[in-house]
Chain A
């Protein structure tokens, strides 16, 4: 009856939420910049760390992450 101790996910290990696999295209721009979608006008907004969270076109302050490009399989039934 031994339980595995909780392991803090480290950046180095390959896990399901690995940034390189899931958000490949979004991260591809630059290691430090990430593309987001504006919640108002759905324009692509590329942000670096420290940037103001704001759409460059309309000034809206809500940005969303892009959907993963990973393939998902469904049964059509």
Chain B
């Protein structure tokens, strides 16, 4: 018996997650074998290729927004989690304090330094190696080499500025180096790093004006910083993204006409540009049972751009729209937003997450074949 093929309307109905005033319905996906009697939902590569689609909405250097259409939530979520946790990046890991007479304590200062996002030659950062950190005190000591450690320096002393005006109250003018900023960190290449981390490719903080500490005359900070590659799962400072999130495409379905003053009120329930107002045409008004009879020329509400909706459900609070509108979200349309911290470009970050997932799959496959052997 050939498998049943559901109609397009039925498939569309299954794609929409219902969002009601107080409940969310039709949440789990059902496109797997054995759920719908008689239908085949086996996963096929050809079919996936045919249905899968990527759309870019914006692609700035450090912020990208794009849609992945036609894949399962599990895969989309895997990409999101890999983006945050499993792409290795460079960050300050060990701080050797030679002198710190500032009011900020050594350990607090070290923690602050660790969180500063660094950038530099992408080629060089990719050339550096990342090794899984072994937890515990008895872990073997890692040998420091040019392919796993970048050495930096923070050496600064605050002194009185004798050129300052007598009645000056601003500490930054009254003293030299009253504020220690990220730009005061310096990183020098070691060994083969001098092939990558020179000139424009030098390791440096992404934002030069991050305030690290405040000093007063006579106080100084002198420390050596060792940066290593790590992953976000180990510590958030290694996460290459500031945010990596997705939302589902909102879906607004106007079931019966909303006309006149109601239409204006309806449009106000949504963010600007989501609902448009259009005049009722004479054809629509002439059609019996359409709900538009006798309203020719009046304004009706139409869905212009559901993409920008925030799904606030405001329209469901008003009596007059009761039963006239159905809100939902499209189950397999993921609108990603990836904001890089500055070490890598945001679109390459996503490709990197695909690479990591591929590697994981390969490892899983190898494990399976080992089981069979």
Q: Measuring CB to CB, which residues of chain A are less than 8 angstroms from any residue of chain B?
A: 37, 42-43, 67, 69, 71-77
- Chain B interface size band reads 20 to 34
The reply to whether B99 and A77 contact each other, CB–CB distance below 8 Å, is no
Question: What are 8 A-B contacts with C-beta separation under 8 Å?
Answer: A67-B100, A71-B96, A71-B97, A72-B96, A74-B107, A75-B93, A76-B237, A77-B93
Given contacts A37-B218, A42-B217, contact A73 B98 (CB under 8 A): no
Given contacts A37-B218, A76-B113, A77-B237, contact A71 B98 (CB under 8 A): yes
B133 CB to nearest chain A CB (Å): 11
The reply to whether A77 and B96 contact each other, CB–CB distance below 8 Å, is no
Q: Determine whether B219 belongs to the interface, using a CB cutoff of 8 Å to chain A.
A: yes
B97 / chain A contacts, CB cutoff of 8 Å: 71-74
B95 / chain A contacts, CB cutoff of 8 Å: 73-76
Q: For A42, give the chain B residue with the smallest CB separation.
A: B218
The reply to whether B106 and A72 contact each other, CB–CB distance below 8 Å, is yes
Q: Tally of A-B residue pairs with Cβ under 8 A? A: 50
Q: For A75, give the chain B residue with the smallest CB separation.
A: B94
The reply to whether A76 and B110 contact each other, CB–CB distance below 8 Å, is yes
| Closest 10 A/B residue pairs (Cβ) | A76-B114, A74-B110, A42-B218, A74-B95, A72-B97, A76-B110, A76-B92, A77-B235, A76-B95, A71-B96
Q: Tell me, in angstroms, the Cα distance from A77 to B100 when the chains sit together.
A: 18
B282 / chain A contacts, CB cutoff of 8 Å: none
The reply to whether B101 and A67 contact each other, CB–CB distance below 8 Å, is yes
The reply to whether B110 and A69 contact each other, CB–CB distance below 8 Å, is no
A72 / chain B contacts, CB cutoff of 8 Å: 96-97, 106
- Contact partner of A76 (CB less than 8 A), chosen from B93, B99, B216, B219, is B93
A18 CB to nearest chain B CB (Å): 19
The reply to whether A74 and B106 contact each other, CB–CB distance below 8 Å, is yes
A45 CB to nearest chain B CB (Å): 12
Q: Tell me, in angstroms, the Cα distance from A71 to B110 when the chains sit together.
A: 14
The reply to whether A77 and B217 contact each other, CB–CB distance below 8 Å, is no
Q: Determine whether B30 belongs to the interface, using a CB cutoff of 8 Å to chain A.
A: no
Q: Tell me, in angstroms, the Cα distance from A24 to B362 when the chains sit together.
A: 58
CB within 8 Å of A: which B80-108 residues:
91-101, 106-107
B107 / chain A contacts, CB cutoff of 8 Å: 74
